Amino acid sequence: MSKKRKEELIKKLKPYWNHFQEIQSDFYKKKTALEEKMSRELGLGIDLEFFNVDGDYVGIGAVNPVYRKKNKKYFPLIRDYELDN
């Protein structure tokens, strides 16, 4: 592909990329708000998150890795298949 053709494509693709970034930003704001609500309402004394692996959400777990190991406030990863019932 020529440099000129690539520049033309970039110019045409840029609005789509910007729209995608807006959608992504909105998603992460909503996800963070939901994680905060979940952590607050469950009152476990630890912050929870929707856990992802390679871009796919696979369950809910503790934000802090310390709580992923067996201790007083241990919280195991609750897998998606356990939540999908």
User: How confident is the model over 25-81, as pLDDT tens digits?
Assistant: 999 999 999 999 999 999 999 999 999 999 999 999 999 988 887 777 788 899 999
Q: What residue spans of the chain are helical by DSSP H?
A: 3-42, 80-83
Backbone torsion region of residue 59, taken as left when φ is above 0, otherwise alpha when ψ lies between -120 and 50, otherwise beta: left
Q: What is the pLDDT of residue 10?
A: 98
pLDDT of residue 73: 77
Residue ranges making up the domain that contains 11? 3-83
- Bridge-based pairing of strands 78-79 and 48-53 is unpaired
Per-residue confidence (pLDDT) for residue 71, from 0 to 100: 72
Number of domains in the chain: 1
